[in-house]
Structure 1
Amino acid sequence: MKKLKVHYFQHITGEGFGSCYDYLKSLNAEITATEFFALPKDFHLDIDALPHIDDVDLLIIMGGEMSVNDEVNYPWLKIEKRWIRRYLAAFKPAIGLCLGGQLIANALGANVYRNTMQELGWTTVYKSAAIPEFCFQLPLVMQVMQWHSETFDIPKGAIRLAENNVCANQVYQIGKNVIGFQFHPEITPQSLEIFIEHEEDQQVFQGQYVQALDYLKTSQKNDFEQGRQLLNHAIDYVLQT
């Protein structure tokens, strides 16, 4: 059986691959990673040091604490976005998660900027109206994990799939092979602990749509299930191309 070559871009130490790991293994996936978080901020990354696009069947771009616009402090962002453009130009499957969704949008020329309100915690997201039948079909209502200060414009040619009143652009797709999420369907109890520890140290988030960390520490296993299923279905969808 042919191996499914899955590569992921990781921007946070200790985050791991998230809720889809077991599912990808059931698909006979060979999983590799580029760990951008391990690079010194002033490191000059050569694009040829990243995988050849022919060696990647599915790209998953994880979240991160940096802004896609912070190329001064993280110069490797320029190379990452160049590689993403090269990969997408080959019409290959890709999924972006929070920062990952922003990176895909920005790599394709869309703006990424500070959202009016920060979102942190379990929130409700709604399927957008009048989505074409060929699109990735979402539940009408979703309870998902948010952890972001910035948002993105929908890239040219993309279709918005989900939204809420706090952040208009929550999910988009490009063609039938690319899906970008603003939220974190990949979140697991373990990665949530890392997010919470970081926020306790940095105290970055505040506002009306920021849930108390003590409340998030009481999250139950079934709270993560809808996101896990959503991400697995998204993987199936983009791999059908």
Structure 2
Amino acid sequence: MKSHLRVHYFQHIAGEGFGSCHGFLKSHKAKITATEFFALPVDLSLELEALPHVDEVDLLIIMGGTMSVNDEANYPWLKLEKRWLRRYLAAGKPAIGLCLGGQLIANALGATVSRNQHQELGWMDVGRVSHVPENYFQIPDKLNIMQWHSETFEIPRGGVRLAENKVCQNQMYQIGRNVLGFQFHPEMTPHALQLLIENEEDSAVFNGKYVQPMSELKKSIKSKFEQGNQLLNRAIEYVVNA
């Protein structure tokens, strides 16, 4: 992978930072910057000047969050983020969206994001879709990966679905050679999971037959995270080498 990449990430909630790929990118001497939308001053929350210029970013990584992409009334910066995303994607630049991030890319390109039939939280199996073209990003036949979502994206126009499971059909997509959207969380680390568990215990907004108990998630061993973390590193290499 190229060294000295200018990597920018979008963060939507405090505590859900860059995730597992920070060390991987730093090992390639990447320059990492961030936009923390939750911390933008009100007078900048709708101004494109609050974000970097498209030409200043070699790779964009969009993190998750607790809000819906449709909740622009309560989070007005969502409009700003989608406007900037359309410019960035139109320039043909590499991007990876993680959970809310994957939903944001899809929605910015005109796809619907809506409530999934079931909430999905915990270590869940995700499988590769059959007949993915050879020149597209390849995931393992089966992953056991962290899920934490209530909504789901449609596949954007021109996108190809790469992964699925029985709870949520659209788990991952690819657009062209340089954009990957995930519904799950390959970036999850033990520390990041602990922060999410603490917030969930405070609010208790998830329930249903595909929601694992917090007591069980607290026992997640370190090796559980490795497959997703390695997948994300491969995804980064794939989009920046497109």
TM-score of Structure 1 vs Structure 2, range by shorter chain:
over 0.9
Which residue does the alignment assign to 2:236? 235
Aligned mates of 1:55, 1:155 — CA distance in 2: 26
Give CA-to-partner distance per residue, 1:106-165, whole Å, 9 cap, x none.
Answer: 000000000000000000000001000110010000010000000000000000000001
Which residue does the alignment assign to 1:27? 28
Match of 1:71, SS state, is coil
Verify the 8 A CA contact 2:3 2:28 in the aligned structure 1: no
Aligned mates of 1:181, 1:107 — CA distance in 2: 15
Which residue does the alignment assign to 1:145? 146
Per-residue deviation, 1:240: 0.8
Once the two structures are aligned, what percentage of the paired residues are identical?
A: 68
Q: What amino acid is aligned across from residue 134 of structure 1 in structure 2? A: N
Which residue does the alignment assign to 1:86? 87
Residue 116, structure 1, aligned to residue 117, structure 2: yes
Aligned residues: 241
Under a length normalisation based on structure 1, what TM-score does the superposition of the two structures give? Answer: 0.98
Q: What amino acid is aligned across from residue 32 of structure 1 in structure 2? A: T
Per-residue deviation, 1:28: 1.2
Aligned mates of 1:82, 1:103 — CA distance in 2: 11
Verify the 8 A CA contact 2:45 2:80 in the aligned structure 1: no
Verify the 8 A CA contact 1:127 1:140 in the aligned structure 2: yes
Aligned mates of 2:45, 2:140 — CA distance in 1: 43
Aligned mates of 2:85, 2:26 — CA distance in 1: 24
Per-residue deviation, 1:43: 6.0
Verify the 8 A CA contact 1:173 1:179 in the aligned structure 2: yes
Aligned mates of 2:89, 2:168 — CA distance in 1: 25
Aligned mates of 2:219, 2:80 — CA distance in 1: 39
Match of 1:130, SS state, is coil
Structure 2: unaligned runs, 5 residues or longer: none
Q: What amino acid is aligned across from residue 3 of structure 1 in structure 2? A: H
Verify the 8 A CA contact 1:43 1:75 in the aligned structure 2: no
Aligned mates of 1:191, 1:44 — CA distance in 2: 26
RMSD value over aligned CA atoms?
1.3
Q: 1:2 to 1:164 in 2, by over 3 A?
A: closer
Under a length normalisation based on structure 2, what TM-score does the superposition of the two structures give? Answer: 0.97
